[in-house]
Amino acid sequence: MAEAAGEPRRCAYALAMLGRIDLVRGQLDAAASHLEASISLAEHDHWLAFLPWPQALLGEAWRTGGDQSGAARLLQQAFARACQLKDPCWEGISARALALVADAGGATGQAFQFAEDARARSNRVADPYVWLDGYILDALCDLGSRHGHPQTGSWIETLRDLASRTGMRELTVRSMLHGAALGNQADGPAAKLLAADIDNPRLTALVVASDPFIAN
């Protein structure tokens, strides 16, 4: 509709959000296509203040697909531009992805610093983007579970509380999967039950992969 109405900025925004959905669902090729189109439209319309959002999401798509160096370059650009703009959402989403790039490169301490900084940046306003806070917490929980961070249990509970009271069902499932990975036996079956009618192949794969925890 935005394209038909000749509204390039609305179209760029819509494409970025479609790319975000693709990314969350693990559909990386579709995500990259939507996000590259969003970036192209924003650049053509000189909407530089918006660029860090699709750039950060595209960087995460590249990272997830295995292109760590390309992702790092794009994410550093997105983060620098976000800091110049002083936009908490753009800063937060870029720093979150940079945390996962750092972790993939073996810089575990830096990964935690980036992730915690991402959350602080995105929450520094009175009305923060709640989904982004949950998304960053999800990354913190994953990092914490894999590296045995002492605050992991607290992050999981914070994510669960945030997701359940705001109706973010997928992130509620994610919090339960993190709990199961930490050894909370009731969380695995609960995650499986809650995820049953959520149409997200990536989430389904995560639930299936958690079966060893459910069995225990």
Domain count, the chain: 2
Give the percent of the chain with pLDDT over 90.
94
Q: Domain range holding 22?
A: 1-100
Residues 4 and 70 placed together within one structural domain of the fold: yes
Task: Please determine, for residue 214, whether its predicted confidence score (pLDDT) is greater than 90.
Answer: no
Q: Are residues 137 and 77 in the same domain?
A: no
pLDDT for res 210: 84
Residue 111 lies in a domain: no
Residue 109 lies in a domain: no
3-state helix, strand, coil in the chain (%, to 5): 75, 0, 25
Q: How confident is the model at residue 212 (pLDDT cuts 50, 70, 90)?
A: low
| CA 178 remoteness from chain centre | 15
Distance of CA 189 to the CA centre of its chain: 24
Residues 54 and 145 grouped into a single domain: no
Residue 61 lies in a domain: yes
DSSP reduced 3-state for 2: coil
Name residues whose C-beta falls within 8 Å of residue 158's C-beta, 6 or more positions apart in sequence.
137
pLDDT exceeding 70 applies to what percent of the chain? 98
Which residue shows structure tokens 């970036």? 39
Residue 105 lies in a domain: no
Question: What pTM, to 2 d.p., does this model score?
Answer: 0.94
* Rounded CA separation 166/134 (Å): 10
Does residue 209 sit within a domain? yes
Please check whether residues 12 and 95 belong to one and the same domain: yes
Enumerate helices (H) and strands (E) in the chain, giving the number of each. 12, 0
pLDDT of residue 36: 98
